Amino acid sequence: MGDVLVHMSPNSLINKDLLAKLERLEVAFRRAQRGRPEGERSGPHHGGRIEFADYREYSPGDDFRHVDWNVLSRTDDLVVKQFEREEQYLVYLLLDCSASMDFPRSGGRRGNLPTKLEYGAACLAALAYIGLAARHRVEMASFGAGRCEWFPVGADKNRVFSLLDRLSGLRAAGETSTALALKEAFERSRERCLIVLISDLFDEGRSRGILATLAAKGYDTSIIHVVSREEVEPRARGRIILRDAETGDAVPLRITDAAAARYRRALRDFGEGWSAFCGTHDIRFLSTTTDVPFEDFIMRYLRRGGLVR
Amino acid sequence: MTFGRPYLLLGLLLLPLLALLYIRRAGKREVAVPSLMLWRAAAADAVAETGARLGAFDVPLLFALLFLAAAILAAGGPVLTVKARSAPHVLVIVDRSASMTAPAKFTRTRRDALELLDRLDSGKVTIIGLPLAAGPALEELTPAQAKLRLRDLSPTHLPLDMGSELSRCAGIARQASAVVVLTDNPQPVPERLAGRPVLVISHGGPVRNVAIDAFEVTPGDDGRVHVFLAVKNYSDKAAAVPVAVRAWRTPAPLTAKTAFAGKSRTLGLPPGGRASLTESLPAGDSVGADLDVDDGLDVDDHAVAVRAGVRRIRVAYVGRGNQFILRSLELLPDVALSQFRLTGDVNAEFDLYVYDGVAPDKLPAADVVLIDPTGRVGPFNVRGATAGEWRRAVKVKDAPALRHVKADALRFKRILRIDGGPAAETLIKLAESDAAVLMRWQDEKTRVLVIGCSLVLSETNWPMQSSFPMFWADVLAEAAGRRSAARGAWSCSVTGEHIVVRRPPDAKLSVIGPDGKPVPLVPGRGARSYFLPTQAGIYRVSGGPLPQRFAVNMLHAAESENAGAQSRPSVALEKSLLARGHGAGVPLWRYLAVLALMLALGYWATAARTSR
């Protein structure tokens, strides 16, 4: 195993070896998007040679080589030159940071498994690096507790370290606000783009409307549904009080084997409901548990789900 | 069912409280989940079944309560009394220790035991005398047979450790339905033995007793013997006790002793105190001390020591070292072996000299074995050797030292031609010629065995024969027999300790004790046998070439003290104990402990599953 680049206690999911493997992957865009020039990979619009196309405002993460210093000296405006030949796509990666993502809880029988937040953050970092390696513009948003914080990563793969630093500082708290994050992504994007939502989807279905809207407007949307093993197979039995990690609501229950079986059936129905919804709206839907080896998930499951190739 | 520690059962009262605490704690246990959305949908029918109400079936709680109940019950020491289906089987344990020799003690004990058996009209009886070394258990007797056997029992002079001896009886007690112990021992007897009820019939009371506490005899350089004697007063009143110390020589038979020296003194003894004296007496072969006192126990008023007649035999081996010979000598008991390289190195007086490949200038006045000698030694003159060819045919003369030698198995190669003169006797010679392998010669002071070959495997196979070490054992026995018995060490042991008897090969020995009855010694594998004296007095070994005597005394302070101590009061004989159908006790706590362990495992498994 290579050197660990990000430490998300107790698991270190991203390392140099994995990054080297990720460079061989590319994001599989499904819809014809109006991209920006200067991407390395060929887009649907095959241009000829590299030609100057336009200026645009500098944003953090842009390659300094493309800053037009002449314009800067004349006008004090920091702009970067855009070229036309290959297309550069915009990738929005949305990570759920609500309290429900902090499972399995540390100190219990979690063992060495990462939390859903850690697993999702690692997924986000991997997808971002794949995009950055192809010089696509990547922006991420972490949402939870009624807020959505955006972080424009940039279009240079060296920016992945800044991204990893930011991911390491994320803490799960509050209620989920998936709909808010999707709404902000829709508003920020001036063109159709790739949106990847990483969440456990415990938002009572409030995000389905905006997801359907995004899909209808041609956004290439994907959902990575992260579930922990203890959610799939709850082992608690007896008379206990279940407390919702997000809302704090408590419900006294006597969990028997039959009740646990009904719960598992409800969880299965929940996943199948989302899968059916996504199928209807041409949204990629990938579901995983935190005990699936992370590298397998990235290198095999994401490929199989059509998100990367 | 009865309980050994019934007060521990009060712990059962805590169980309801523990159950309540468990329920309250279980009702407050919280588990955080990412979302209640799915639980609400899935377990709607299970909502709100907590609180203080006990669930329909709480497995961990059930296991915990059952475990605690089983553990508390096991700690209470329950014994289940099972109705006997057959007639009662009574184990009668009779104290035969030295303290029981006090006047009328054992007689009264036996009378009570007989009375007990009279009330037992049927059933089985097992009689055990303690200490167990005093004799075997008499098992499966009818009451009538038991009465006859009881009349044959008599007290011994052995000490008794009641606790350990009773624990050794537990195996037999387990087969009985009740145990009766007849003793004067003040040590507490457990109320149950292997779960069976124990009835103690106690005899004894405050009796005045003065005893010899220590008795040591050591030889002095001046030919006299020095005696150290200590006397203890076990009563709570002061006493003035006349003490007589005598030395005498005993011609056979032992009973006719001729006292030739004796002194008498009076010792003043404070209550519970001790006094001692030392005496120097002319050396006889026996020394004895007697207290002239009329007290509770007679056997501890006398002590005796004798010359054992056996001391270590000093053997000098002169030669380059033959491992077969040296090992044979070293393995024999009471042998002090010294090795020398040259004849000039031998600088002390020995009982047996073995010259291996070398010859002394002058034969010593002792037993001598010459192996492969050279030149002229005493009456023997070496005149050459036979040819170096293997020969198997030898002739062996019937002699005590050669009774284990098998002529057909012996092989010799080169044999010395030795002229021993007319006084020399040939014991082994070659069949085909007169070449002597082994010759014997003796005069008043010296006895010589000459072996006309080297005792190495390249010359003979005799060292590999089983007769070889036995030959050396016999040589040593003959050498020891020539020594004066007056040179033996003083022997003074105590009852209950085994005495070691030197046993020549194949000798059938018997030990004659103070009662004059010979007791055959069981032959062991080695050159010694062991004998356990049960009576104090002088023992003599008969049947062997060596005069062996042993003095045994009852010098056990505990027995002397028991003889005068107040024993525990007797318990009235319960008729129900011997009645038909009286039950035997089954200790239930073991089964309960196992059950508690299983329940603890069950609790651990279910509780762990629930808490995950």
The CATH number for B148's domain is 3.40.50.410
Asked if residue B507 and residue B477 are part of one domain, the reply reads: no
Report the mean per-residue pLDDT for chain A: 81
Report the candidate in B599, B587, B601 with the shortest Cα–Cα distance to residue B174: B587
Mark whether B111 and B175 lie in a shared domain.
yes
Q: Is residue B341 part of a domain?
A: yes
Least confident of A4-13, B207-216, B325-334: A4-13
- The gap between the terminal CA atoms of chain A, to the nearest Å, is 23
When pLDDT is averaged across residues B463-482 and rounded to a whole number, the result is 82
pLDDT band at B485 (very low <50, low <70, confident <90, very high): very low
Confidence class of residue B53 from pLDDT cuts 50, 70 and 90? very low
One domain for residues B99 and B141: yes
Mean pLDDT, to the nearest integer, of B124-144?
A: 84
Residue B579 backbone dihedrals phi, psi, to 5 degrees: -70, 150
Residue A122 in tokens: 């690692």
**CATH number of the domain that residue B554 is part of:** 2.60.40.10
Q: Which of B481, B511, B544 is the last residue of a domain?
A: B481
Is the same domain home to B294 and B370?
A: no
Confidence at B252, pLDDT banded by 50, 70, 90: very low
A265 Cβ under 8 Å from any chain B Cβ: yes
| Structural domain includes residue B62 | yes
Residues B465 and B369 grouped into a single domain: yes
% of residues, chain A, pLDDT over 70 = 85
Domain tally for chain B?
4
The separation between CA B388 and the C-alpha centre of its own chain, rounded to angstroms, equals 54
B163 and B218 fall within a common domain: no
Same domain flag for B138 and B231:
no
What is the ipTM metric for this complex?
Answer: 0.76
Residue B429: which domain range? 313-481
Selecting from B40, B49, B611 the residue whose C-beta is nearest the C-beta of A254 gives B49
Output B457-463 pairs: Cβ under 8 A, ≥24 positions apart: B458/B413, B459/B412, B459/B413, B459/B414, B460/B410, B460/B411, B460/B412, B460/B413, B461/B409, B461/B410, B461/B411, B462/B410, B462/B411, B462/B412, B463/B322, B463/B324, B463/B325
Q: B414 and B362, same structural domain?
A: yes
At a CB cut-off of 8 Å and minimum separation 6, what does B464 contact?
A: B457
Chain B neighbours among A 153-192 (CB < 8 Å)? none
The verdict on B327 and B352 lying in the same domain is yes
Q: How far apart are the first and last CA of chain B?
A: 42
Hey, what are A139's tokens?
Answer: 């922006």
B66: left (phi over 0), alpha (psi -120 to 50) or beta: alpha
Last residue of a domain, one of B481, B496, B531: B481
Do both B196 and B244 map to the same domain?
A: no
Subunit contact B51:A236, Cβ cutoff 8 A? no
Q: Measured between CA atoms, how close is A91 to chain B, in angstroms?
A: 28
pLDDT digits (tens, 9 = 90+) for A19-51: 888 888 888 877 545 444 444 444 444 333 466
Domains of chain A: residue spans and CATH: 16-32+87-304 (3.40.50.410), 48-84 (no CATH)
8 Å CB contact of A255 and B43: yes
CB contact under 8 A, B55 and A267: no
Question: What's the pLDDT tens digit per position in B351-384?
Answer: 899 999 988 888 888 899 999 998 888 889 888 8
Cα–Cα dist B355/A182, whole Å: 115
Give CA B260 to chain center in angstroms.
36
pLDDT (tens digit per residue) in B230-250: 899 988 888 899 998 888 877
Q: Hey, which residues 15-74 in chain A have their CB within 8 Å of chain B?
A: none
Do the domain assignments include residue B317?
A: yes
By Cβ distance, the residue of B36, B51, B610 closest to A249 is B36
Q: Whole-angstrom Cα distance, residue B87 to residue B385?
A: 84
When mean pLDDT is compared across B155-169, B182-196, B368-382, the lowest value belongs to: B182-196
Threshold 0.95, pTM exceeds: no
As a whole number, the mean pLDDT across chain B is 80
Q: Dig out the tokens for A222 from the structure.
A: 């994907």
Instruction: In whole angstroms, give the CA distance from residue B427 to residue B402.
Output: 8
pLDDT of B203 strictly over 60: yes
Chain B residues inside the 8 Å CB shell of A266: 38-39, 41-42
Neighboring chain B residues of A244 at a CB cutoff of 8 Å: 32-36
Contact call for residues B437 and B451 (beta carbons, < 8 A) = yes
Mean pLDDT of B412-440: 87
Using the predicted structure, report yes or no on whether residue B264 has a pLDDT greater than 90: no
Counting other chains too, the contacts that A231-236 makes at CB distance below 8 Å and 24 or more residues apart are A231/A103, A231/A267, A231/B33, A231/B34, A232/A264, A232/A267, A232/A289, A233/A264, A234/A260, A234/A263, A234/A264, A234/B33, A235/A109, A235/B609, A235/B612, A236/B31, A236/B610, A236/B611, A236/B612
Q: Quick check: is B82 in a domain?
A: no
A259 touching B, CB under 8 A?
A: yes
Considering only A52-66, A180-194, B13-27, B255-269, which range has the smallest mean pLDDT? Answer: B255-269
Which CATH number covers residue B348? 3.40.50.880
Quick one: tokens of B404? 């284990």
Question: Is the residue at B84 inside a domain?
Answer: no
Tell whether B426 and B282 lie within a shared domain: no
Give the chain A residue nearest B35 (alpha carbons).
A244
pLDDT mean over B299-313: 79
Look at residue B166 in the predicted model and tell me its pLDDT: 87
Q: Per the domain annotation, does B83 fall within a domain?
A: no
CB B391 within 8 A of CB B430: yes
Q: Is A276 on the interface with B (CB under 8 A)?
A: no
Is residue B318 pLDDT above 90, yes or no? yes
State whether B223 and B144 are in the same domain: no
**Which of A253, A255, A264 is best to mutate for the B interface (most B CBs within 10 A)?**
A253
Size of interface A-B (CB pairs under 8 A): 115
pLDDT at B517 over 50: yes
